[in-house]
């Protein structure tokens, strides 16, 4: 373990001890933050005011189907300009993007009365990937340019909020084509972790450009060892997901589906010649299924996938780029059926959308029928429930005083 990593781990231990000794999480029956499970839940809505030097406010609500909530005189203010979120082991993690420097990772949970409280706080490297794996959160810091080419992977115990291990990956060696690999996300598939990546120049001039726009890669790692087993390759579409955007999901059958926008660029111009599509990796295999290819661009009338979120039973909510054939334009929402390869535009959603939480900060309804997302518009910001079968959006709670950036749910 490197000296810097030891310091990070030591900081984490000190910070966790400091906070847990003075918080409600130390009380009997509340060791993992949820207390005695009462069967109750509360929604966590994050909203940003857009003010300089201010990140998000954490708001809580019992019901998101109606009413309104505001950031004015309400919620827990986050420090720093950029925050990212993940929920694991009934804890809510707020990660500060430190602009390349280490940033705070703050853990929250609900006490027995349903109040959101701070459980711990520690420093960790600013990362580009963060995903729940088993009872951990796997985070990855990925270099994008310069001499540095080693991606740092960290395992955080999601119950104890402690960094428990790390691994490294040489991204130039992984790409093996004169460029470097840039992980877009990480997904647990069975007992392994699948990490799709982009091939990027990383030359300091056109960092995210590539000379390889029409290929797909998924690196397969053992877990918890994080040892590289192989790279799954294909050339029917482009890379999966995107910068800070998940593009690989496992369904209830154990199969994995990858989503490509086919928007690889060179000097900021889209150079992908393949269609935006969905590919499949069958359960128990580490190869793309050559018999499966869902051409979403064709089914949608020429639009490309911007981001996605899996609902259940093969239904997926897609956010599409609003301008045909490009990576530009106001967002448009659609439902895709992965099993029947059908595409349906969402109805009853706002006509003009400025930002949504589809990229990574959504929920699925208790019955698995719908996606619950934040949708921001020039007229206001609401939580919507979008049915995966009917593709109909239903407006819920309005969030005032800030743009919705994430939605989560915890038990107490």
Residues 149 and 270 in one domain: yes
Q: Which residue has the higher pLDDT, 95 or 227?
A: 227
pLDDT (tens digit, 9 = 90+) per residue, 309-350? 999 999 999 999 999 999 999 999 999 999 999 999 999 999
- Give ∠ CA 176-179-185 in degrees, rounded to 5: 85
Average pLDDT over residues 393-400: 98
Among 214, 240, 274, the domain-final residue is 274
- Per-residue pLDDT at 53: 54
Give 331's contacts (C-beta < 8 A, 6+ positions apart).
Answer: 306, 319, 320, 321, 322, 353, 355, 356, 358
Is-contact 399 374, C-beta < 8 A?
yes
**Closest by Cα among 121, 128, 132, 57 to 99:** 128
Residue 286 belongs to some domain of the structure: no
Q: Which residue(s) pair with 151 in the sheet?
A: 169
Chain centre distance of CA 69: 24
pLDDT band at 124 (very low <50, low <70, confident <90, very high): confident
Residue 55 belongs to some domain of the structure: yes
pTM: 0.89
Provide the 10 A C-beta neighbour count for residue 230. 11
Among 274, 309, 325, the domain-final residue is 274
The pair of structure tokens assigned to 256 is: 């994995």
Looking at the chain, the whole-number percentage of residues with pLDDT higher than 90 is 80
Residue 388 belongs to some domain of the structure: yes
Residues 102 and 151 in one domain: no
Instruction: Give yes or no for a cis peptide into 218 (omega within 30° of 0).
Output: no
| Sign of the torsion formed by the C-alpha atoms of 69, 70, 71 and 76 | negative
Range of 214's domain?
Answer: 136-248+261-274
- Per-residue pLDDT at 34: 42
Residue 90 belongs to some domain of the structure: yes
pLDDT band at 123 (very low <50, low <70, confident <90, very high): confident
Check whether 90 has a pLDDT greater than 60: yes
How many domains does the chain fold into?
Answer: 2
> In the block, which residue shows the tokens 């203010």?
77
Q: Which residue has the higher pLDDT, 35 or 358?
A: 358
**From start to end of 21-82, where are the E strands?**
41-48, 54-61, 68-70, 76-79
Q: How far apart are CA 67 and CA 301, in angstroms?
A: 37
The pair of structure tokens assigned to 312 is: 């259940």
Residues 354 and 405 in one domain: yes
Residues 121 and 140 in one domain: no
Is-contact 72 91, C-beta < 8 A?
no
Residues 20 and 88 in one domain: yes
Check whether 138 has a pLDDT greater than 80: yes
Average pLDDT over residues 216-242: 98
Check whether 126 has a pLDDT greater than 90: no
pLDDT (tens digit, 9 = 90+) per residue, 139-192? 999 999 988 999 999 999 999 988 999 999 999 999 999 999 999 999 999 999
Residue 21 belongs to some domain of the structure: yes
Check whether 102 has a pLDDT greater than 90: no
Residues 269 and 355 in one domain: no
Residue 253 belongs to some domain of the structure: no
**Closest by Cα among 252, 237, 264, 257 to 194:** 257
Residues 119 and 160 in one domain: no
Whole-number average pLDDT of the chain: 89
Residue 281 belongs to some domain of the structure: no
Among 222, 240, 274, the domain-final residue is 274
pLDDT band at 3 (very low <50, low <70, confident <90, very high): very low
- Per-residue pLDDT at 190: 97
Residues 71 and 49 in one domain: yes
Q: How far apart are CA 397 and CA 384, in angstroms?
A: 8
- Per-residue pLDDT at 166: 96
pLDDT band at 265 (very low <50, low <70, confident <90, very high): very high
Chain centre distance of CA 188: 13
**The residue count for the chain:** 412
Looking at the chain, the whole-number percentage of residues with pLDDT higher than 70 is 88
- Per-residue pLDDT at 347: 98
Residues 19 and 119 in one domain: yes
- Per-residue pLDDT at 25: 32
pLDDT (tens digit, 9 = 90+) per residue, 13-51? 333 333 333 333 333 233 334 445 668 999 999 999 876
Residues 149 and 121 in one domain: no
pLDDT band at 78 (very low <50, low <70, confident <90, very high): confident
Residues 37 and 72 in one domain: yes
Average pLDDT over residues 68-83: 88
Check whether 308 has a pLDDT greater than 70: yes
Residue 360 belongs to some domain of the structure: yes
pLDDT band at 132 (very low <50, low <70, confident <90, very high): very high
Residues 110 and 160 in one domain: no
- Per-residue pLDDT at 250: 98
- Per-residue pLDDT at 125: 83
- Per-residue pLDDT at 193: 98
């Amino acid at each position: 373990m490197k000296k810097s990593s030891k310091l990070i781990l030591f900081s984490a231990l000190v910070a966790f001890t400091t906070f847990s000794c003075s918080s409600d999480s130390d009380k009997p029956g509340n060791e993992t933050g949820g207390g005695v499970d009462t069967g109750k839940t509360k929604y966590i809505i994050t909203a940003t005011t857009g003010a300089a030097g201010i990140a998000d406010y954490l708001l809580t609500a019992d019901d998101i189907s109606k009413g309104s909530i505001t950031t004015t005189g309400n919620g827990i203010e986050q420090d720093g300009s950029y925050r990212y979120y993940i929920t694991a082991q009934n804890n809510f993690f707020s990660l500060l993007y430190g602009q390349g420097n280490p940033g705070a990772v703050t853990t929250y949970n609900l006490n027995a009365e349903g109040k959101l409280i701070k459980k711990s706080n520690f420093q960790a490297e600013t990362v580009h990937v963060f995903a729940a794996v088993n009872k951990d959160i796997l985070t990855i810091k990925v270099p994008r340019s310069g001499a540095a080419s080693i991606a740092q992977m960290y395992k955080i115990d999601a119950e104890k909020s402690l960094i428990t291990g790390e691994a490294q990956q040489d991204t130039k060696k992984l790409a093996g084509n004169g460029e470097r690999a840039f992980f877009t996300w990480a997904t647990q598939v069975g007992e392994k972790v699948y990490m799709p990546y982009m091939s990027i120049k990383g030359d300091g001039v056109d960092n995210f450009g590539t000379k390889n726009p029409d290929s797909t890669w998924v690196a397969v790692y053992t877990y918890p060892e994080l040892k590289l087993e192989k790279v799954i390759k294909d050339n029917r579409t482009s890379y999966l997901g995107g910068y800070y955007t998940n593009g690989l999901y496992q369904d209830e059958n154990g199969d994995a589906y990858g989503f490509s926008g086919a928007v690889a660029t060179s000097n900021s111009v889209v150079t992908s010649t393949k269609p935006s599509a969905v590919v499949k990796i069958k359960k128990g295999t580490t190869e793309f299924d050559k018999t499966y290819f869902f051409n979403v661009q064709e089914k949608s009338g020429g639009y490309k996938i911007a981001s996605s979120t899996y609902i259940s039973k093969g239904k997926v909510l897609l956010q599409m780029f609003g301008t045909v054939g490009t990576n530009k334009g106001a967002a448009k929402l659609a439902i895709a059926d992965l099993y029947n390869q059908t595409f349906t535009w969402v109805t009853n959603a706002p006509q003009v959308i400025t930002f949504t939480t589809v990229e990574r900060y959504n929920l699925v309804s208790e019955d698995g029928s719908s996606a619950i997302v934040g949708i921001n518009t020039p007229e206001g910001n609401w939580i919507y429930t979008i049915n995966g079968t009917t593709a109909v959006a239903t407006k819920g709670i309005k969030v005032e005083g800030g743009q919705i950036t994430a939605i989560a749910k915890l038990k107490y």
